[in-house]
Each structure stands twice: as structure tokens, then as C-alpha cells.
Amino acid sequence: MSLLSRVKTSLESQQLSKTTPNQRWKPETYGLGAIYDHDRISKPRDLIWIWMAANIGLVAVVYGAIMAAMALDPLQAIILAIIASIGSFIPVGLLSISGKRYGEPMLGLSVRVFGNKFNKGPAFASWLSLLGWETITAVIATEAIESFLGSHSSSHKNELSILILTAITIISLLASRLGHRAIVTIQKIIAWISGSATVLLILEVGNKTALGVSNQAHPAPLTSVLASASIIAASGGISWLNASADYSRYLRRTEPSFKVTIYTALGAGIPFSILIIFGYLLAKSIPSLAGSENPIHALGVLLPTWMVGPYITLAIAGLIAQMILGLYSSGLSLLALGIRTKRTKTVFVDAAIVVALGAWIVTKPGPILTTLVSLVELLAVPISSWAVVFAIGIIAENGSMIQKSGFISRWNSFVSWTTGTFAGLALTNSSVFSGPFGNGTIGKDNLGFVVGAMVALGLYVTVSTLDRHFKKDKEPLSVVALTNEARL
């Protein structure tokens, strides 16, 4: 064994002696570093349960109701729900391949493309997005429980709301702090139980309610189809892009990449699309469903009394499954921001913010939750722009398109990302923000994040290609100069 190999083995042994990384019911201590090979014991099928549980929440029925409100006919709605749902998670599956290859979490891998300094921007956007969705999920779960407890008129409503919110957050916190192996087990249990219960729910509601659609004489125009697709994609796979590799880094490098992509896309996309189609069919019976802030309660009132208790329990379990992944990944995003602490402590920071922000929302009247949802959806713009730059950069890392420089800052990655972000925001039109060009077709169809990603992609490829050719042109001159200097 060479001296270098001995030193490397010694360093790894020292690191392993300090780490208890992948024990199922003990806190995971891996942070942004690569997972050691002996801990990479996960299987691609685990991704099915991880993503299914996180996307089986009944909130997705709202997106189906939105399609009905936009007058999509049944064929359009069904095809769009399937394509937009599964299609939006294909990029999540593709980015997950990088986790399998390098054994690092998403925002840790991002350093390879953006560098330590410039990676702070994407890490901050990622953290805000995850934190926002965690808070939204916690608030929806809290309000759903309140509705069934009948506590809206209680004199202690605020105290009860904060108590429920805190309990939901603590349960999610404990699971996310444990780490990957525990998450796989918990998500698998939730996926099986909630999945089966959701099927029974659909059958029960369908039997008691006149599922159907409003009579549509003609298919909806393309603009309505595009607007619906963008809403589903932004709330579906796009919102999870920044967490993709976090749950595939425990896979062996030899696992087939196509399985990683397919299991992720189908595990998340199938239940998501079924719930969207269910929401579309249900909109005729519940016309207000498209604008409902509490879809769980809206569905619950259609159920027989005996079914309400199990229903609310399983519905909350699905929301907690989302929060578990959110807290786990947002903790990693905090580490990527440069927070000097352990991953097991970062989740406490996020949980405290969720409780504080959520408590403010549930105790204040007004459409605060709707405003927060709109703000978080805006973050689809920087996240989608980051994703395309990262994807090209990580693919090209071992190729000739960009210089291999590991953890050196990439100014062109940062410029491409920020340019794409500003371009996307300029074409965005929402209830909380409208860009200078947001009143056009792109803005009205909510396609700003798509255009932003295309701008970021085009600029990054162009600058990287020019940089490569510039370096190639300069290399012969450098060799000649060095030869002449040697002769002198």
C-alpha cells in the first residue's frame, strides 16, 4: 500500500470513529459531506415511498379544482394532470442521479458548479422555499384539525391553534432529525396506510357525491391549459428540485440511473396526478374548492361521521410526511449557507421559525396564508434557473465544456442564475408581485419560471463554451512563451 493510500485510509478511519451516520433510530450526523460507501445501503425502490408519502397530501385536489375553474374539458384535465405531475418530477429524478453518483446532498453538490461563495445565493433561495412550504403545510394541518374540533369560536382558539401547530412541528422535527433510514421507514408506512385510505376516501366520496364535470361545449383555450400546467408543475416537482439528491445520496453508485429517475417521477407523480383528477371531478359538487385554504375540511364534510376521525388522522399524516422531508432538506440548505453547526441542530432552527411564523398566521385574521403561498410560489423562478445551470454544470464537470476546478467559485454560473432569475421575475404576474412585463401572455399563463430557466440555460452554455474556446486559443501561446523563456 502506498503512503498516500495509507494516509487516506487513516483519515477515513478517524472520521468514521466520530460518525454514527446511518443507524435507523439514532440521529444522523452526516452533513454536506459525501456518504461513505459502507453506509450507502439504500435501494432505488426506497425513492418510491419517500416521494409517494410526500405527495399524497389531499391539498393537491385544489389544483384539480383550478383546472375545472379554468374550464378544461375532462380529456384535457386528465391528460394534463398526468403529464404535468409526472413530467414535473422527471427533473427531480434526473437531479437525483447526481446524489447517487457523488453521495452528497443537493446544495452541497451545487458548490461544485457555483463554488463556495456564489453557492450562497441558491442555498438561500432553497432554504426560503423549503421553509415556506413547511410553514404552509403546518398551518393547513393546524386549521384542518381545528375545523373538526369545532374550535373556531372558542375563547381559547389562539392558544389551541399554537398548541396544535407546535405538536405537528415537533413530530416532524423528531423524524427529520433522525435521518435517512428512519425517514425511509416512516415514509413507507405513511405511503401504504395513507395511500390505501385515500383510495377508500375517493370511493366513499364518489359514492356519496355526484362526481362529474360541468358541461363543456369546447376544449379550453391553450392559455388556460398552459396556466393550469404551470400551477401544477410549480407546486409539484419544481418545488422539490432543490431537495432531489438529498434522498438518493445513500444509493450505491452502481445502481441504474434510469431506476432512480423512474422511481422518483412515478412515486411522486402518480398519487399527485390521481388527487388532481379527483379534485377536478369534485369541483362540480364543491364549487368553492379552487379557492379553498382548507381543502381537507372541505372534503371532510362530505364523509359520514364514523369516517371523520380516521380521515383527519390520515390526512395529517400525509402533511407531516411533507414536513419531514422539508425540515430535513432545509437543514441541509442552512449548512450550505455557511451555518457552522451540525445538521441535527439546524432542524431545530427551522422548526422554531415554522412555529413562530405559523403562530402568527393562525392567530391573525385575513388571507395571510394565501399571500405566503403566492410568495413561496415565486421562488419557483430562482429554483428552476438554478436547476438548469446546476444540471449542465454537474454533467460537464468531467467533460470539456467547463474547466475542472471542483470547489472554485464559478462567476459564470452565478451570473447565469441571477440573469435567469431576474428575467423570470420580470415576466411574472401574481397576486403579490408583477414584473414589468408580467401583463403579457407569459405572465398571465404563469410561465415566468420556464422562461427564466431557458435564459439561464442559454447564457450559461454560451459563456461556458466561449470560455472553453478562449482557453484553448490561449494555451498554445502559453506553451511557446514558456519554451522561449526556457531557451533564454
Domain boundary among 365, 395, 415: 365
Q: In the predicted model, what is the mean pLDDT of residues 351-371? A: 83
289-293 contact pairs (CB < 8 A, 24+): 289/61, 289/62, 289/65, 290/62, 290/65, 290/66, 290/68, 290/69, 292/62, 292/65, 293/140, 293/143, 293/367, 293/369, 293/370
Domain membership flag for residue 270: yes
Domain shared by 195 and 100, yes or no: yes
List the CATH number of the domain containing 357: 1.10.4160.10
- pLDDT tens for 196-234 read 888 888 887 777 666 656 555 578 888 888 888 888 998
C-beta separation of 288 from 212 below 8 A: no
Domain shared by 168 and 289, yes or no: yes
Domain shared by 427 and 313, yes or no: no
- pLDDT tens for 265-300 read 999 999 999 999 988 888 877 777 777 767 777 777
What domain range is 420 assigned to?
A: 379-488
Domain membership flag for residue 24: no
**What domain count does the chain have?**
2
- Which distant-in-sequence residues (6+ apart) come within 8 Å of 27 by Cβ? 20, 177, 178, 179, 344
Domain shared by 310 and 459, yes or no: no
Domain membership flag for residue 165: yes
Domain boundary among 365, 391, 412: 365
Domain shared by 85 and 205, yes or no: yes
Whole-number percent of the chain with pLDDT over 70:
83
Domain shared by 408 and 329, yes or no: no
- pLDDT tens for 293-319 read 677 777 777 777 777 777 888 888 888
- Provide the mean pLDDT of the chain: 81
Domain membership flag for residue 5: no
CB atoms within 10 A of CB 438: 18
